[in-house]
C-alpha cells in the first residue's frame, strides 16, 4: 500500500502561502511536517484586499480569533459592492452578500417581485435587501442566532491589509509548528518520473518533501517553470491586464462596502480599512496607457496620497493543470481573475478545500488528481463567467473599451444563463458548487438594466394584493431593522479596535 504524506513544502509566502500552511497544518497536525520557504527579497503582490464571506469560514476552519484578526489586519466589514457606471454611464447599483426577501416566500422571491413589479405593486430591488439598506446606512451586524430575525440576513466579509494578514497567519502557523525557511530558490530538481524531488536555495541548502504547494505568484516556479503545465489565456473575454494601486488617508466614515467605478479604460476600486483607504485602477493596456491610468487614479482619491503608486501586469487565465504530479498550485500560481468581485482569496480557499477533499498518499493517484483539476476548473470558470457578465451587460458605448466588451462573444454557458433570464427571469445555478447565488446574478442583471421579457406565469395566479402586502411587510421590517443595527464605527469600537477619526 502507498505510504501517507509525511512532509509538505509550501513554496512562497504571501496570503496564499500562509493560508496553505495554516490549513494544511490544521488538517494534518503532528502527523505531517509542514514547512514554508520564502525570501524577504521577493515582494508580494498584495495591495490591500476585499474579500467575500467565505473568508470567515476559512478563518473559523483554522481557528483564528476574529477580533484579534480584525485588529491586527486593520480590517473593516464588507456587506457587498457598489457598482457605479457599469450599466449606463450614470447608473449605480449594489451587489449585496445577503439574500433578497425574508427567505419565507413561496418559490423564488425574484419571481414574486417580477410579477408584482409588472403591476406597479413593488418597490425597487434594494428595498428588499437588508444587507443593501445597512451598507448605505453605514451599519453592520453580526449574524443573529435566531434565523427568524432580519439581522440573520446580513452576512459580511472583510476589507483588510493583505500584507498584515500574511503576517498574522505566519505567527499563527509558527506557533503551531510550521517551520519557516528564509531563502531564494535557485534550482528545482526532478525525479526521473518528473515529480519534484527537492528545491535548492542559495548557499546550497536543499529542501525536499512528498507534496509541494506552489505559491510563487504569477511566475509559477514549480507548476510552470519546472512542470510546464501550460496556461489558458482568457484575455479575449477579460481584457484588463494592468493595475495601478495607491493608498490614501481616510476621509469620513468607513463605509462597509467596496466601490467599483467604471472608467474610460477600465474601472477603479475603493476599499476602506481602519487606518487608510485602498485605491486602484484596473485597466486594459490596449485602451489606456500607464501614465493616463495613474493620473486618473490620483485625481480621484478622496484623501491624501500615502505611498507611491504600485504597478502590476497580469494575463487573466488559468493553468491548464492546477495539480500536476506532486505539485499543487494556489493563488496567482494557479491563474488570475481580475479583482472585480473580490474572489482571489476565495479561490485560494476553494483550492485548499478541494485539496483536503482529494488529499493524496504517496501513490498520487492520477484519477484523484484529474478529479481535483476538474472540480477546481469548474469553480474557477463559474467565477470567470460571473465577472465577464459585468462587462457583457454594459449599456455604455462611449469609448472603445466598452464597445468591445459589449459586443464580444462570451462563453456558451454564460450566454445560456443570460438568455434564460432575459426570456423568463430564470436564475438557476449551473451546479451545487456555484459560489455566486441567484441573488448575485439578480443584482447584476437588474442593476445593469436587463429586463426579462416575461416571468413565470405561476406567480400571476396568486392574489396580487395579498402578495404586495407581504412584500410591504418585508420592506417595513427591513427599514426598521436597519435602525437597530450598530454603526460600523461603533461595531469596531465595541470589538476593541481603534475608532476612526
In this structure, is the dihedral angle defined by the CA atoms of residues 331, 337, 340 and 341, taken in order, positive or negative?
negative
DSSP labels, 432-501: TT-SS-HHHHHHHHHHTT---S---GGGGGS-HHHHHHHHHHHHHHHHHHHHHSPBHHHHHHHTTPPPP-
109 SS3 class: helix
Instruction: Work out the burial of residue 20: count CB atoms within 10 Å of its CB; fewer than 13 is exposed, 13-18 middle, 19 or more buried.
Output: buried
Catalytic residue among 78, 250, 320, 472: 78
Reading the block at residue 293, the C-alpha cell is: 491610468
121, 180 Cβ separation under 8 angstroms? no
What's the CA gap between 246 and 248, in Å, rounded? 7
What's the CA gap between 411 and 404, in Å, rounded? 15
What's the CA gap between 116 and 468, in Å, rounded? 7
221, 201 Cβ separation under 8 angstroms? no
Active site residue 78: yes
Which residues, other chains included, contact 28 with Cβ-Cβ below 8 Å and sequence gap of 6+? Answer: 5, 8, 34
For residue 13, give the DSSP letter: -
What positions carry a catalytic annotation?
78
Amino acid at each position: 500500500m502507498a505510504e501517507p504524506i509525511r512532509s509538505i513544502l509550501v513554496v512562497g509566502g504571501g496570503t496564499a502561502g500562509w493560508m496553505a500552511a495554516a490549513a494544511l497544518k490544521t488538517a494534518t497536525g503532528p502527523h505531517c511536517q509542514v514547512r514554508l520557504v520564502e525570501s524577504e527579497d521577493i515582494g508580494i503582490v498584495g495591495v490591500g484586499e476585499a474579500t467575500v464571506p467565505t473568508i470567515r469560514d476559512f478563518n473559523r476552519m483554522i481557528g483564528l480569533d476574529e477580533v484579534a484578526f480584525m485588529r491586527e489586519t486593520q480590517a473593516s466589514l464588507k456587506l457587498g459592492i457598489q457598482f457605479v457606471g457599469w450599466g449606463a454611464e450614470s447608473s449605480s447599483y449594489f451587489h449585496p452578500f445577503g439574500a433578497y426577501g425574508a427567505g419565507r416566500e413561496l418559490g423564488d422571491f425574484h419571481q414574486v417581485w417580477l410579477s408584482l413589479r409588472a403591476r406597479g405593486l413593488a418597490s425597487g430591488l434594494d428595498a428588499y435587501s437588508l444587507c443593501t439598506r445597512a451598507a448605505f446606512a453605514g451599519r453592520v451586524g453580526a449574524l443573529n442566532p435566531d434565523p427568524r430575525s432580519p439581522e440573520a440576513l446580513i452576512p459580511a466579509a472583510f476589507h483588510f491589509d493583505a500584507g498584515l494578514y500574511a503576517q498574522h497567519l505566519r505567527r499563527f502557523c509558527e506557533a503551531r509548528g510550521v517551520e519557516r525557511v528564509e531563502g531564494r530558490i535557485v534550482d528545482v530538481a526532478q525525479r526521473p518520473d518528473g515529480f519534484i524531488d527537492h528545491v535548492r536555495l542559495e548557499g546550497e541548502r536543499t529542501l525536499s518533501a512528498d507534496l509541494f504547494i506552489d505559491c510563487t505568484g504569477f511566475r509559477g516556479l514549480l507548476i510552470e517553470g519546472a512542470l510546464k503545465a501550460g496556461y489558458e489565456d482568457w484575455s479575449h473575454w477579460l481584457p484588463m491586464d494592468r493595475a495601478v494601486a495607491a493608498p490614501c488617508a481616510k476621509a469620513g466614515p468607513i463605509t462597509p462596502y467596496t466601490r467599483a467605478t467604471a472608467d474610460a479604460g477600465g474601472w477603479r476600486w475603493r476599499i476602506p480599512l481602519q487606518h487608510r483607504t485602498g485605491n486602484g485602477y484596473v485597466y486594459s493596456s490596449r485602451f489606456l496607457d500607464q501614465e493616463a491610468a495613474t493620473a486618473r487614479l490620483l485625481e480621484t482619491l478622496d484623501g491624501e496620497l500615502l505611498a507611491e503608486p504600485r504597478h502590476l501586469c497580469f494575463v487573466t487565465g488559468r493553468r491548464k493543470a492546477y495539480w500536476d504530479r506532486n505539485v499543487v498550485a494556489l493563488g496567482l500560481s494557479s491563474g488570475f481573475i481580475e479583482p472585480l468581485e473580490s474572489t482571489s482569496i476565495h479561490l485560494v480557499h476553494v483550492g485548499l478545500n478541494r485539496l483536503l477533499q482529494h488529499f493524496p498518499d504517496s501513490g498520487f493517484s492520477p484519477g484523484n488528481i484529474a478529479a481535483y483539476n476538474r472540480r477546481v476548473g469548474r469553480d474557477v470558470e463559474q467565477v470567470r463567467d460571473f465577472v465577464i457578465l459585468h462587462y457583457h451587460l454594459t449599456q455604455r458605448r462611449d469609448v472603445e473599451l466598452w464597445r468591445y466588451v459589449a459586443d464580444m462573444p462570451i462563453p456558451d454557458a454564460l450566454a445560456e444563463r443570460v438568455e434564460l433570464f432575459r426570456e423568463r427571469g430564470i436564475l438557476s445555478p449551473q451546479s451545487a458548487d456555484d459560489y455566486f447565488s441567484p441573488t448575485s446574478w439578480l443584482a447584476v442583471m437588474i442593476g445593469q438594466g436587463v429586463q426579462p421579457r416575461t416571468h413565470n406565469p405561476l406567480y400571476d395566479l396568486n392574489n396580487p394584493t395579498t402578495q404586495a402586502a407581504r412584500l410591504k411587510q418585508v420592506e417595513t421590517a427591513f427599514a426598521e431593522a436597519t435602525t437597530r443595527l450598530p454603526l460600523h464605527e461603533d461595531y469596531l469600537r465595541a470589538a476593541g479596535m481603534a475608532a476612526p477619526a
